Amino acid sequence: MKKFITTVVLPIAAMTMIYKWRYRLLNIILDNDSIRRVSVRAAMGIPGVRSRLLSRAFRS
């Protein structure tokens, strides 16, 4: 029973809490300047994301 709790119940509870507080966690993470820089660089390295963001930023 203890193994069932640690392998099934605890991960489901953790995922539920992360999902419930996802925006609060994201705000806490992106509040740090260095983490924000790394995440923006990583996102801009993805061609699809970069093209969509740049096309929206420089619409004519």
- pLDDT of 4-49, one tens digit each? 778 889 999 999 999 999 999 999 988 999 999 998 899 889 999 8
Classify each residue of 6-45 as buried b or exposed e, where b means 16 or more C-beta atoms within 10 Å of its C-beta: eeeeeeeeeeeeeeeeeeeeeeeeeeeeeeeeeeeeeeee
Q: What's the pLDDT at 33? A: 93
Domain ranges (residues) in the chain? 2-57
Q: Are 46 and 53 in contact (CB under 8 A)?
A: no
Provide the whole-model pTM: 0.52
Q: Is the pLDDT of residue 3 over 90?
A: no
Q: Is the pLDDT of residue 60 over 80?
A: no
Q: What's the pLDDT at 54? A: 84
d(C-alpha 28, C-alpha 13), whole Å: 21
